Structure 1
Amino acid sequence: MSGFDKDWLALRETADQAARDMGLVEELATYLQGMDRPFILDIGCGTGSTLRSLQDHLPRYTGWLLLDYDPVLLEEASRRAGTSANVAFRQHDLNDIAGLTLDEASVVTASALFDLCSEKFCAALADRLAAAGCGLYAALNYDGVMRWSPEHPLDGQMTDLFNRHQRTDKGFGPALGPDATACLAGHLKARGFIVTTAESPWRLDESSAALQAEFLGGLRQPLLEASELPDTAIGEWLEFRLATIGTPGASCLVSHRDLLALPG
């Protein structure tokens, strides 16, 4: 499967970093501090945003292995990581869950990944994590809530359409979309993990105008594919939303959830 565009990943990184729940990051750091050689396996790493977001908060001797299927994103992640001796990179198709090297991993991390995955994927990963005694930090999974100001009569319907599209196959089977965090938490709790979740919403205003415009542009095709509305209705709604970006009081909230699961 192909990766995301690196320009989109760069555009969203500031909003992602601001959204992460720092309470869970601190809990993860405390967990790793009790280990002689903490090691993180970051799956679906993209350009390395999880590494950049967490590295300064975790023990400095923590080792990292970043996995992604897209060699272009891996190359960018490596470039941005510089010459750190504690960070390595490897190409890997995440559909091969059995091939994940968990023997030395203390925790698996992933950002904005599990809402693209199926329940089968989550169950199989939970089995591997339980067998290895390995924790999971899964951040920024979309949870189905979008709110705008000023409001438009079609806001709710457009969110519902997008959520419907989010449940289609994204390369890992029928995607969980907004149900990802709850599903993942259920599978991990059933296998004895101590699971904590927290909200991690994007809160976008005039300072994030470029991200809002790109996000709305990216909604067009999913809405058209999921909708029974006339194309003109979707176009008019998008034109309204784009026109409000940067106006006084205008804002956009896109809700996500973070999850930390540690062996019980």
Structure 2
Amino acid sequence: MGFSAQWLALREPADQKARDPALLTRAVAAAGPAPVILDLGCGTGSTVRALAPHLPETARWHLVDNDPLLLDQASAEAPGRVQVHELDLAQLDALPLEGVTLVTASALLDLMPAAWIEDLAAILAAAGLPFYAALSYDGIMSWEPALPKDHDVTRAFNDHQRSDKGLGPALGPDAGTVAATIFRAAGFNVQQAISPWRIAAEAVPLHRALVEGIADAAGQAGQPMAAEWGRARAGMASESRCLIGHLDLLALPPRTA
């Protein structure tokens, strides 16, 4: 389970625009006046870049990933205020929670199984920590102009998203709603908001990389027309628009709800 720095850089502008601003503001408030933020699956530091403009300059970060090359890039985001941790996210009991005031994740929950989210919710409930998870894919795709195979490819892609990413069958497009249920059951006050990507015709590199990835995953899931669909969509990238649905989640423990 992992993504290249090139793909993360391509998607970041769409991610930053998509985040629900009201929920981001509430997450910042939940971090408190002296924020210490633990970011799970940090990649190159996208969450730091999204939240830092809204936080005091003294905010400190613990960044967790299993890719040392991505961690090297992320460590430069807030020199002197970032500590990186090369950890497998299966090792939730090894998370550096001491002193942390907010736990975050971006584009992560849809890669995880329900059991992992249940374990995380239990750990954060015991620690009394809020959790802000942005940009969980929700299974919605729409394209302008439409093609006859759009629905079939989306269905196959969603099936692929539910496959095992290393920790068990992933929740894929069900992650946002299932995570909300899990955190509520653990006693959290849960707030959600939609955060769709809206990719315009001028975002050609992102559009082409996106359809290439969708077509590849849909093909692996058994959709025989996926490659043909991907070539058609890539050829139309400079004239097309698309919406890719996501959900943001903020879970506040009882003492901060």
Give TM-score scaled by structure 2 length: 0.95
CA contact (8 A) 1:68 1:91 kept: yes
User: Who is 1:158 aligned against?
Assistant: 153
The answer to whether structure 1 residue 77 and structure 2 residue 102 are counterparts is: no
Supply the AA of the counterpart residue of 1:160: R
CA displacement at 1:59 relative to structure 2: 2.8
Supply the AA of the counterpart residue of 1:143: D
CA contact (8 A) 2:153 2:215 kept: no
CA RMSD of aligned residues (A): 1.3
The answer to whether structure 1 residue 262 and structure 2 residue 252 are counterparts is: yes
Find 2:214's aligned residue among 195, 212, 219.
219
Q: Which runs of 5+ in 1 are unaligned?
A: none
User: Who is 1:129 aligned against?
Assistant: 124
Find 1:100's aligned residue among 95, 103, 115.
95
SS in 1 for 2:203: helix
User: Who is 2:8 aligned against?
Assistant: 9
C-alpha deviations, 1:79-134, integer Å up to 9, x for none?
3x152x22211111110011112232111100000000000000000000000001
Supply the AA of the counterpart residue of 1:241: R
- Structure 1 CA distance, aligned partners of 2:192 and 2:78? 32
- Structure 2 CA distance, aligned partners of 1:235 and 1:27? 42
CA contact (8 A) 1:32 1:59 kept: no
- Structure 1 CA distance, aligned partners of 2:103 and 2:20? 17
- Structure 1 CA distance, aligned partners of 2:30 and 2:38? 15
User: Who is 2:242 aligned against?
Assistant: 252
1:1-264 correspondence to structure 2 within 5 Å = 2-33=1-32, 35=33, 37-79=34-76, 81=77, 83=79, 85-227=80-222, 229-230=223-224, 233-247=225-239, 250-264=240-254
CA contact (8 A) 1:103 1:132 kept: no
- Structure 1 CA distance, aligned partners of 2:2 and 2:145? 33
CA contact (8 A) 1:3 1:73 kept: no
Distance 1:82-1:27 versus aligned 2 partners, 3 A rule: closer
- Structure 2 CA distance, aligned partners of 1:171 and 1:59? 36
SS in 2 for 1:246: helix
How many pairs align? 254
C-alpha deviations, 1:210-246, integer Å up to 9, x for none?
001011111232111112x43xx22322222112211
Identity rate, percent: 45
Give TM-score scaled by structure 1 length: 0.93
- Structure 2 CA distance, aligned partners of 1:31 and 1:223? 39
